[in-house]
Structures are given as C-alpha cells and as structure tokens.
C-alpha cells in the first residue's frame, strides 16, 4: 500500500438471521387443535363457507363389546333410565317411580296452569306409645337356647340341690367347731387398780414439770441442732444454754423454734446471751404458758434425788432420775461453733444426760428447778452418758436471767489477774498461782503480785485456777473480799474491791 492512498479499515462479517426451528405438527394434533381454514388471527371470526366440517372432527371409537354388554341398554329396549323395562310376558308392572295417577299430577304436567295447592307434607301419623309385646322365652330357651334336653336339665337341677345340701352340712359342722372355742357369755375379770403414784414420785414430778419444758430447734442454713429449755416467766421467757442458741445469734436467716409438749411449734427470739456463764434467754409469744417453779440450789446436799428433763438426741420429753453426785464442781465450758467460754460452779449428777439435754431443767424431789443441764463427761467420742452430768446452779442462773430480761446483757465481777492451770501444791496445801496482774485492776490495787498463791477467797477454799474464777464470779461488783495468799512461803491476807468486767 502506497503512502498516498488513505488507510481503509476492514469491517467485521455480519451474521444473518437464523432460521426458525419449527418442528412439524402431527396431522391429528393439527386437526384437533389447529385454526379453521382461512382464519389467521386468534380472535378472527369465521368466514362464510370456511371452516372445518363436521365430518372432519374425529369421532370416538365405539366401546368394546364387553363394556357394551355389561353397561349398555338391553337389546330392543326403548325406555331410558327414568323408567324400568316392562314386566314379564308383556304384562305391565306398577311403576316404582310414578304412583298411580301421577301423570295427571299438575306438578308434573308442564302444560298445567299455575295455581296454589295444599302443603306438600301432611300431618304426621300418630305413633303408638306402647310397643307390641314380643314372644316370651322359656327358662330352657333363655339359658341354653334349646340345646339341652329336659332330662339333662332336670339332672343339673338335682346336682345343684345336692351341692347346696352338702355346703349347708359343712357350714353347720364349722359353726359347731367354732362354738367349742368361744363362749358368748364370758366376761373378763376386772383387774386391781394400778399402782398409786404418791405425791413426790418421779411420775408425779414429771407430770407437773413436763408442760414447762420445751425442745429448742436451731436451724442455720442446712445445719439443724436441738437443745432444751424451761419456761421461767408467764410472758413466754425461756431459759436455756448460750451454746444452744449462739450459732444463730448473728445469722440473719437463722431460725429458732420452741416445741412444747403438746407439739405446738412457736418461733423464738433471743432476748440476751451470757457466754461467761453459758446462759441465754429466748422469748416466745404464747398465751398463758406453763411456768416451772424455781427452787434453790444452795439447799442441795450430796445424795439428794434429782430428775433431768429435756430432749436428748432429739427425743423430746425424756425424763431420767438420779442423785446429786457432787456440789461446787468447777467445770470449764467451751467448744467449736459457739462463743461460750465459761467456768461454772456445777452440780454433778448421775442422772442420764446426753447431747440435747443442754438447757433443760434439773429438778429436785419437790419438782422445783435447781439447775440447768449444761454438760457431760464421757469416755468415748460419741459423747454418751456415763453417769457424769453437770448443771448450772439455779441460784446464779436466776440472777443472770433477770439481768438478761431487763437489759439484754450481763456484767460480772472480776479480780483482774490470770492464774496457772490447773493449780499448784506444796504437798500440804493447794492453791492457784498468779501468773500476771493487769495494771489498775482490783488485784493490783489490793497488792497482789505475780507468783502469789491464792488459797482462799472469803470463806471458800481455792485449790485450782477454775475455783478461783468461779469464787470471784459469784460475788457482786464493788464488793470488798478478803483474799488469803502465800507469798514466798509466808501467809498474807489482802482485801480487794471487785470491779466490773
């Protein structure tokens, strides 16, 4: 190509239209569904002289000869389905669809004139209320349906009579045998009256005191404990041990209930507690409770009969009896789960006391409360009674209960020193040796110093540190008490004015 000629661009080839793919139409389909001859549009009216003739429409083939013989009209029959064929031998039969004279019925005559007629439904025919009586059946027909011969039926009746007679004979024999063992006219002789329970017996005392004794149930979370208590005031005040109720003292969701002898269960609230004497007072709201009578523990003597009442191991209303084994037995009380840290001047008894008796009364032979059961001493881990039970004397417990009811708390007298436990001895004399003295205390003002051995407070002899503790605790605050002691082998007497703890 020369430079003087303009550049020509080649055009791409063009594709022609594709032929329409029109499959041939079967003649039978075109004959059945095609447009008439001369009609081009879907809605174009037919033209005169055009269109397919009747002969061009395919006709249905005649039915099979088996179907025609089964469902076709009888040969030679002229009637349609509205009328049954004629009777046998040409005799007409009554028309089942058209009653006699129905052809003249104006309702079925299309040429009849319009007029009003009677109702189409007439009055119902009266029905008979008494059903007709049916045939009656004989006994043989009813029982055996005529399948048993009369002779056999008579034989069955005879057998039934024989069985009945035999049963009667057996029943009479059985009744005669039984009557030989029984006597309708027999009477049991009256026994002599029961043993007379004299006033002052254990049964009499228990009957009078039990209504005033309650079982105290303490629930803290999923832990349940049981103790005892005794009603000491008509307003519902109950005296018990501190270690019974102390687990629930500072727990908001804890629950305390008092269960009386009648089974009545009443919620109880803590009025006050005294961990130093292991005493507590709770209150229930109940009208006119039975109140126990309080006695005096100072009049007890070793060998006196005493009765312990309470709920050992959850067995409410348990009564045991014994004697006073010892008096003024110093006993230190403490344990896990309680803030009790007390030394009591206990009454020792051999009346059976077990876990759950704590807080229950120890009563004398007159039924008066002389102590509050508090502790036991046992030889094994189970804590069962071996005849060594201890109770808090009621004389001191009464004063503690009064202060708790009045103020909710208790103050005690103290000397202000610590002594070595259990005690010391020189072979001829026992005593409590002073370990330290608190500055400014009653002991310091009285001139008591370390290593002094206290042998007597007032008129009570001191042999151990626990005896020193209870001897001071039973005194009043502000009371002046003479104290005998041994200092460097020489006896000395000082006077101390007791102060409050």
Please write down the HEC assignment for all residues of 282-301.
EEECCCCCCCCCECCCCCCC
Q: Residue 87: how many CB atoms within 10 A of its CB?
A: 10
Radius of gyration for the chain, computed over Cα atoms and rounded to the nearest angstrom:
60
Residue 422: asked if its preceding bond is cis (omega within 30°), the reply is yes
Report the C-alpha gap between 432 and 465 in whole angstroms.
Answer: 5
Report the C-alpha gap between 357 and 214 in whole angstroms.
Answer: 11
Give CA 339 to chain center in angstroms. 34
Catalytic residue IDs: 243, 278, 358
Beta bridge partners of 431: 424
Closest CA to 268 of 318, 314, 214, 337: 214
Residue with token string 């056999």: 152
User: How do beta strands 361-363 and 424-425 pair?
Assistant: unpaired
Q: What is the DSSP secondary structure assignment for residue 160, as one 8-state letter?
A: H
Six token digits for residue 469: 């503790």
Six token digits for residue 40: 């081009």
Report the C-alpha gap between 211 and 424 in whole angstroms.
Answer: 47
Contacts of 298 (CB under 8 A, 6+ apart): 393, 395
Six token digits for residue 224: 């349940």
274 φ/ψ angles, rounded to the nearest 5 degrees: -135, 95
Residue with token string 């007159």: 366
Contacts of 446 (CB under 8 A, 6+ apart): 483, 494, 495, 496, 497
């Amino acid at each position: 190509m020369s430079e003087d000629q303009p550049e020509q661009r080649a055009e791409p080839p063009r594709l022609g239209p594709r032929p329409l793919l029109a499959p041939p139409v079967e003649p039978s389909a075109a004959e059945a569904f095609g447009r008439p001859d001369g009609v081009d549009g879907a809605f174009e009216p037919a033209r005169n002289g055009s269109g397919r003739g009747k002969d061009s429409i395919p006709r249905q083939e005649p039915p099979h000869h088996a179907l025609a013989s089964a469902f076709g009209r009888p040969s030679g029959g002229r009637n349609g389905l509205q009328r049954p064929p004629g009777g046998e031998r040409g005799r007409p039969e009554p028309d089942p669809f058209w009653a006699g004279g129905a052809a003249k019925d104006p309702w079925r005559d299309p040429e009849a004139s319009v007029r009003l007629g009677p109702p189409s439904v007439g009055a119902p025919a009266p029905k008979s209320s008494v059903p007709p009586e049916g045939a009656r059946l004989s006994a043989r027909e009813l029982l055996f349906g005529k399948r048993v011969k009369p002779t056999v039926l008579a034989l069955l009746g005879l057998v039934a009579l024989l069985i009945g007679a035999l049963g009667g004979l057996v029943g009479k024999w059985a009744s005669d045998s039984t009557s030989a063992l029984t006597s309708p006219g027999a009477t049991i002789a009256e026994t002599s009256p029961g043993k007379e329970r004299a006033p002052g017996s254990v049964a009499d005392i228990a009957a009078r005191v039990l209504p005033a004794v309650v079982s105290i149930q303490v629930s803290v979370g999923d832990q349940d404990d049981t103790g005892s208590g005794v009603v000491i005031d008509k307003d519902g005040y109950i005296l018990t041990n501190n270690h019974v109720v102390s687990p629930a003292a500072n727990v908001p969701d804890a629950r305390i209930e008092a269960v009386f002898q009648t089974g009545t269960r009443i919620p109880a609230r803590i009025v006050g507690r005294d961990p130093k004497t292991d005493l507590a007072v709770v209150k229930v709201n109940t009208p006119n409770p039975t109140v126990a009578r309080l006695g005096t523990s100072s009049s007890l003597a070793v060998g006196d009969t005493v009765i312990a009442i309470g709920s050992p191991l959850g067995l409410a209303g348990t009564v045991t009896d014994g004697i006073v084994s010892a008096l003024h037995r110093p006993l230190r009380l403490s344990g896990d789960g309680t803030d009790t840290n007390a030394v009591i001047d206990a009454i020792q008894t051999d009346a059976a006391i077990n876990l759950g008796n704590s807080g229950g009364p120890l009563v004398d032979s007159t039924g008066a409360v002389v102590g509050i059961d508090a502790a036991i001493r046992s030889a094994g881990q189970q804590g069962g009674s071996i005849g060594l039970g201890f109770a808090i004397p009621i004389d001191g417990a009464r004063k503690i209960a009064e202060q708790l009811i009045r103020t909710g708390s208790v103050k005690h007298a103290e000397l202000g020193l610590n002594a070595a436990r259990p005690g010391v001895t020189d072979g001829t004399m026992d005593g409590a040796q002073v370990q330290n003295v608190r500055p400014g205390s009653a002991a310091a003002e009285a001139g008591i110093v370390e290593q002094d051995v206290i042998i007597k407070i007032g008129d009570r002899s001191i042999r151990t540190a626990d005896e020193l503790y209870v001897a001071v605790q039973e005194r009043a605050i502000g009371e002046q008490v003479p104290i005998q002691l041994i200092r460097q082998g020489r006896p000395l007497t000082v006077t101390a004015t007791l102060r409050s703890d």
